[in-house]
């Protein structure tokens, strides 16, 4: 399997993580990268459910913010990186700056660094993210800043990706394919 970057997009409960895990099962030595933090009991339950769904043989990295630093020493030893998800990672980065002033450029830079880490390596990456641009414009500045930041990061990853899959009600729709053999 040659190195590929696959972006899996969709709304909440669209089947993104399940689909990404199905792809990763074909990927040899897998590193699952989780960006969620358990801020409340409901999120803690979601995190536990995701942990239980992962195959036991996969390595796991739980890192909410500094992905490039945490991933750099690990990526050379795996065949596939499954990053779940950009949605929470962007949120975590945004919330680090309480005034939300310098964050857009910082988030764009961190996303570019993450893509460059993929480009320097031999591992395939499967990256999960929510598509938040299909709903109403958020009523708060923080909500608008978040939607803008995640939309830009999704665009960065989609531009770099070999394959972009949009999930609707558990069904994958291929939006972009570059050199992909039929599955």
Helix 16-24 to helix 41-53 angle (10° resolution) is 30
SS (H, E, C) 54-101: CCCCCEEEECCCCHHHHHCCCHHHCCEEEEECHHHHHHHHHHCCCCCC
106 is catalytic: no
3, 50, 100, 106: which is the annotated catalytic residue? 50
User: Which of 165, 75, 149, 166 is CA-nearest to residue 110?
Assistant: 149
CA nearest 56: which of 81, 30, 76, 74?
Answer: 30
Residue 85: cis peptide before it, omega within 30 degrees of 0: yes
Enclosing H/E stretch for 127: strand 124-130
Catalytic residues: 50
């Amino acid at each position: 399997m040659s190195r590929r970057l696959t972006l899996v997009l969709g709304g909440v409960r669209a089947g993104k993580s399940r689909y990404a895990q199905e792809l990763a099962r074909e990927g040899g030595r897998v590193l699952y990268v989780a960006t969620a933090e358990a801020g409340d009991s409901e999120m803690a339950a979601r995190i536990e459910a995701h942990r239980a769904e992962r195959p036991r043989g996969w390595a796991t990295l739980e890192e909410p913010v500094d992905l490039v630093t945490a991933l750099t020493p690990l990526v050379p030893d795996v065949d596939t990186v499954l990053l779940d998800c950009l949605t929470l990672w962007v949120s975590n980065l945004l919330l680090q700056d309480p005034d939300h002033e310098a964050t857009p450029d910082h988030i764009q830079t961190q996303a570019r660094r993450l893509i460059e880490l993929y480009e320097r390596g031999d591992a395939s990456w499967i990256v999960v993210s929510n598509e938040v641009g299909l709903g109403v414009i958020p009523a708060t500045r923080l909500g608008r800043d978040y939607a803008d930041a995640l939309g830009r990061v999704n665009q960065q990853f989609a531009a770099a990706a070999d394959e972009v899959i949009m999930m609707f009600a558990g069904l994958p729709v291929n939006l972009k394919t570059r050199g992909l053999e039929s599955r």
